[in-house]
Amino acid sequence: MLAVTGVAMADRKSEEAAIRKALGGNEVSSIEPAPVDGFYEVVIGPHVVYVSRDARYLLQGELVDMRTRENLTAPRRQQAVRQLLDGLDKADMIVFSPDKPRHHITVFTDIDCGYCRKLHSQIGDYLAQGIEVRYLFYPRAGRNSPSYRKAVAVWCAKDRKQALTDAKNNKPIPLKTCDNPVDRHMQLARRLGLRGTPMIVLEDGSIQPGYVPPEPLAKLLDGQ
């Protein structure tokens, strides 16, 4: 039995090494046996793929148990997203927090995005629902755009929360520069597959693309 176990472990190590080699420079954070025979579940950043034991075939998409109708991919993807966000320091965010937080969301925002502004105009309502809002920047027009420069200026302001509110209300703010996390925010957003703003990441790692009003969002969070 021990000999058989040892051979199985050696085979798995060899297969994992072949998969890592086949995936090249991709950041593989875990390789585990998949629910499907002959495949491994491979987590690359926030993404989950399935790779055959011989490292020849790669499957992308949702793996669904046809008997139970359960999506087997979503929980692993959400876990991977949570781990990425857990690695962030709140000191690198702009955080609006209620007196007694019940939930938190992470919001990738663009100062000049209409629905981002709508969301922020209701910040008091989100806080009243017990939702802490953690902002990260994603200027959609890219680096060195007016939106990017505003994001940097907000970060470099003495009162970041007030500067963010002013900028979203189209009030002029001093265009300062300083050491800032905006580029890191943008890199993370791309890794998460951001396609538009606002992008809301819930506590469980699930992603809500677009604006969600305060009350429905609170119900969504309560139901997790």
Catalytic residues: 110, 113, 116, 140
Enter the tokens of residue 54: 């011989």
Q: Are strands 131-137 and 103-109 parallel, antiparallel or unpaired?
A: parallel
